[in-house]
Chains A and B, each alone.
Chain A
Amino acid sequence: MAAHIAYGGIFVAEHPAPPFLEERPSIWTSAVVQTLLQLPDLVLHRVQQYRWGATAVKPTGLLAWNLPFFRKDLYSLSLPDPVKPDTAAIGKDDQGNFRTSKHKEYPKAFCKALAFVVAQQFERFVRSHGTRSCPAAPEVLDQWIAQAAAASTPVRDDSHWLPDFQHL
């Protein structure tokens, strides 16, 4: 985020929303984030992912830099009539799996909304000539970017993710 503040661009960080109990830990209530929130173009948004199809309420904090229309763009692609779930994503289900596991990934509508936010902002940059060219990157770095982009292109719907829980 510091690089984006210094060199331009947009930044979005996602993490669970600030807890209601003040003594609970959260990066959003940390001294670093609270200090950075003095910046007028840095805004912490609190949304609930069930509005984009999550099966739990899943309150989420979204820290957005240089995205003045973030909320408008995000909610423009929210589901029209979402029903607020009444189950919390805590503990294990009947199969012994952690309920948080399936919420590790964003709902598709939420992904689309976030992509829409980014796309709209890039569109605004292009239209308002708010872009700048970068000097050519070193060949090695260019190669790494190309390889990393290529590695992240294949879609693997059948792969699994690791749960957050780690045995202590």
Chain B
Amino acid sequence: MTYESTTFPHEVLGLARREALQTAGPEVEQVTVIERQREEWSQELERCLSQLEFSVLPEDPLQCGADLGDALSCATQAWFERFYPQGPSVAEKQLLPEAWLGAMCDTLEATALAIDEWVQFAFLAWGDHWLPDIVAQLLDGQAEYDVEDLYADFVADLPRFQTLSRISALRSSLRHVHDEPPQAHRQKVSPIFGPPRHPTAHTKIQQAVPRPYGEQEEWSARLRQCKFATMPTIAACPLYRTLPDIPTFLFVHLFSGRRRTGDFHMELQNFALQKNWRVVILSLDTAVSIEYGNLLHHTVSWRALEECYLAGRIAGTLCGPPCETFSEARFTPPPEGSDHWPRPLRSFAQLFGLEGLSARELRQCHTGGNFF
């Protein structure tokens, strides 16, 4: 190839590279090594297949083939009867391929035509279809092995057989070799650690998120180990007020339930009337008063009550908090067909609430726990 100098066309002279429009060039279809190899194999396969075609055939191929087959069979049978059952020597074994070759030569001489390719074809056909029956009739294992071994060695030297072997190899290669589409780059898979993972997949949480609700068992266990270092002394009972000669106690009945005839409130007052002291009783329950009986933490009642307790004004307390979330009845199996039945919300180990409770159940536990 010769090169010569030239100048840019007038239209593009002075244009900078970035000012030029990029144009789509011709598509270049790159030929891979495997594709090139397939092409070579395909061409070779075509050549081999063309070699199998017969240029010259005998006048009567069927009869000629039958005669050749009979001659080969007779030669094989004669060789077997001559050397078995005693078995042939190495030199004697070679007499069989020579007999086969003699039969093929006789056929060639008889036709006076260049039918070498067809004779090879006829011999291979005899070996594929007739020889197995002949070998099967020998009734001598060693003879069967020897005949097949000699046949294999003999046909390996035939050009037609070599061409057939090459065709088989080429077809197999073309069938199994494909161009794989290019894959994205990936890290090699370690036989020990497996495929690569996200960097955070190998990280471990070294410090668990503290969750007091989930650690209540440990908390309870630690609390059970606690011992009182000193025992408190009994303090004197506080009097709410002291009227002249009549002491008065302040008594609180929490979760008292409704006021009724013969309840604790009434009975305590009756007892007090028989004594030389009086008692102011606060029966606190929502069934008695919504305003004063609401004992939740944030209510005015509870704050006032707390102030009384912390000032040491209350002489006595009777407390019967609701037991609904602690109730033994929650462990009773529901009747058939019942879809609303209270289930256990607590256990000995998880007294403040089991795991997996609904929001409503958690609220129930929270309320019951606060009362407790």
Contacts and interface: CB of A to CB of B under 8 A. Distances in A.
B286 to A, nearest CB: 8
Contact of A159 (B258, B267, B310, B332): B258
B282 interface: yes
Interface stretch (B52-60, B71-79, B156-164, B226-234): B226-234
B228 A39 contact: yes
A47 interface: no
Classify chain B: how many residues form its interface, as a range.
35 or more
A9 B237 contact: yes
Contacts of A90: 328-329, 332
A25 B348 CA distance: 4
A130 B236 contact: yes
Nearest to B255: A14
Nearest to A22: B348
Interface stretch (B95-103, B136-144, B338-346): B338-346
B240 interface: yes
Contacts of B361: 168
A111 B247 contact: no
A5 B268 contact: no
B317 A122 contact: no
Greatest chain A CB density within 10 A among B220, B258, B344, B372 is at B258
Contacts, number: 262
B41 interface: no
B347 A122 contact: no
A126 B327 CA distance: 39
A28 B65 CA distance: 109
B307 A24 contact: no
How big is the A interface, by class? 35 or more
A147 B292 CA distance: 8
Contacts of B280: 145, 149
Contact of B271 (A116, A148, A155): A116
A16 B307 CA distance: 29
B332 A91 contact: yes
Contact of B311 (A14, A19, A121, A137): A137
B223 A152 contact: no
Given A15-B320, A118-B316, A3 B310 contact: yes
B340 A118 contact: no
A133 B240 CA distance: 7
Interface in B246-260: 247, 249-251, 256-260
A3 B314 CA distance: 9
Given A133-B239, A148-B282, A16 B316 contact: no
A114 interface: yes
Chain A CB within 10 Å, residue with most, of B262, B310, B344: B262
A161 B4 CA distance: 113
A69 interface: no
A91 B91 CA distance: 106
A142 B111 CA distance: 143
A119 to B, nearest CB: 4
A9 B232 CA distance: 13
B277 A123 contact: yes
Given A8-B234, A27-B326, A27-B372, A114 B318 contact: yes
Interface of B: 219-221, 223-224, 226-228, 231-232, 234-242, 247, 249-251, 256-268, 270-272, 275-277, 279-284, 287-289, 291-293, 300-301, 304, 307-324, 326-329, 331-332, 335, 340-344, 346-351, 358, 360-361, 364, 372
8 contacts: A9-B235, A12-B318, A30-B351, A38-B228, A118-B316, A119-B268, A122-B277, A123-B277
Given A8-B234, A130-B236, 20 more contacts: A3-B314, A8-B312, A9-B315, A14-B318, A22-B348, A31-B223, A34-B224, A91-B329, A111-B264, A111-B266, A114-B264, A114-B318, A115-B268, A115-B270, A119-B272, A122-B249, A137-B311, A145-B250, A149-B280, A166-B342
Top 5 nearest A-B pairs (CB, nearest first) are A7-B312, A8-B235, A115-B267, A119-B271, A25-B346
